Amino acid sequence: MQRQLRINGLMFNVLDEGEGEPVLLVHGFPDDHTVWRKQIPALVAAGYRVIAPDTRGCGQSDMPPQTRDYALGNLVADLIGILDALEIGKVTLVGHDWGAIIAWTLAARHPERVERYAALSVGHPAAYASGPIEQKLKGWYVLMFQLRGIPEWLSKAGNWWFLRKFTAQPEEIGHWIANHRRPGRLTAGINYYRANFSLLLRPDKTSVRMPVLGIYSDGDRYLAAEQMRSSAAYVDAPFRFEIIKGAGHWLQIDAPDRVNALLLAFLKEPVK
């Protein structure tokens, strides 16, 4: 079921399916909640309630106009607002890409709302910021995204040639292009990087205090394994690192059976 929730002055499109213990799925860039379409049925069938919002500026949710509107504090507050509106106290949290960064911060700042956390692809913000030279090279695009107007022009040029080559994700590209042809939507997504560039210089080093599962894929073009592996230093609870071989950055699309198996096993583990 799709819900429309007014949170922090914006209308959010939120998928809410199933019954049982709640699981909050948080997507990244350039996605919306549909990137979880291969996880949602498995989680619902296993007896969980799945909450999957389009984050601000993405999918069918409202798109605030200013770069500062996409600051990390606002993104975290949106998730808290969604949980409050649905009268959900505590969740299992799952985040990918930018959704993982938001989720790490939510888990660190609001531990009373998170039972356990599964981070896909992106490690703790402090581990990412202090990552090895491999990570700096893989993350070159973060600097490019700071240039006003150029990433938007480059992405759209030649029938979205750059976005096609940069992502190399044929299963998603048609949906991404359709979403980001809409006025302002591509800039809204890139504003996540612009509004939060200071995270690279002054990352929040707050540890999380609940069990964490870190899942990394060895075909990831944008992230080094070490930034996920070293996230253990920022987890004051059990931390497990898993590598999925043969999958790219969008591992939940490339290897859904393996991702689903890891998530379901993690959900069943007792919280100590």
Q: Which domain holds residue 195?
A: 2-268
- Which of 32, 48, 249, 254 is the catalytic position? 249
Taking the CA atoms of 225, 191, 188 and 113 in sequence, report the sign of the dihedral they define: positive
pLDDT tens digits, 102-147: 999 999 999 999 999 999 999 999 999 999 999 999 999 999 999 9
pLDDT at 184 over 80: yes
pLDDT at 272 over 80: no
What confidence score (pLDDT) does residue 201 get?
84
97 as an active site residue: the answer is yes
- Which of 128, 193, 216, 234 is the catalytic position? 193
Q: How far is CA 9 from CA 66, 106, 200, in A?
A: 14, 20, 29
Number of separate domains in the chain: 1
- Which of 32, 54, 78, 97 is the catalytic position? 97
pLDDT tens digits, 13-41: 999 999 999 999 999 999 999 999 999 99
The two three-digit tokens of residue 253, written as one number: 């699309």
193 as an active site residue: the answer is yes
What confidence score (pLDDT) does residue 113 get?
98
Residue closest to 247 by CA, chosen among 169, 155, 130, 154: 169
**CB within 8 A of 77, min separation 6: which ones?**
8
pLDDT tens digits, 186-241: 999 999 999 999 988 889 999 999 999 999 999 999 999 999 999 999 999 999 99
110 as an active site residue: the answer is no
Residue closest to 194 by CA, chosen among 104, 74, 69, 108: 69
What percent of the chain is predicted at pLDDT more than 90?
A: 97
Say which CATH number the domain at 135 has. Answer: 3.40.50.1820
